[in-house]
Amino acid sequence: MELGLAVDEIVLAVGALLTLGVLGAGIASRFQLPGIVVSPGLGMALGSDGLDWIDIGAGELDWVQSLSVMALVLILFDGGLSTSTRAGAGPRPPAGTSR
């Protein structure tokens, strides 16, 4: 898979995206928004819906799907590790009754 970019340009792009991600997370915490709200907004602003700095063609969708699946696995793994076992414990009202 040939991207046609020099290594310097790739490192610069990754560094810029990481910096924007950190700044976006800081802005999100200042306005008490979850980071999951800011990330798609940042992606839309940099992608084809906004500034068009990032263009993913139809031929590049295989690695994007693989990267998305790996990210989802990491998110679910982290969520499973950080979930307290006591969070779901305790008596529950019978199903179908309103309180």
Report whether 38 contacts 27 (CB < 8 A).
Answer: yes
pLDDT digits (tens, 9 = 90+) for 3-40: 566 778 778 878 887 888 788 888 888 888 877 777 77
* 2 pLDDT higher than 70: no
Which position has the token pair 């295989």? 62
Mean pLDDT for 83-96 is: 73
**pLDDT single digits (tens) 49-67:** 788 777 766 677 777 778 7
Cβ count within 10 A of residue 38? 20
Give the C-alpha separation, 86 to 27, whole Å.
Answer: 32
Instruction: Give how far the C-alpha of residue 16 lies from the chain's centroid of Cα atoms, to the nearest Å.
Output: 16
Going by C-beta distance under 8 Å and a sequence separation of 6 or more, which residues neighbour residue 35?
24, 25, 28
In this prediction, residue 78 carries a pLDDT of 82
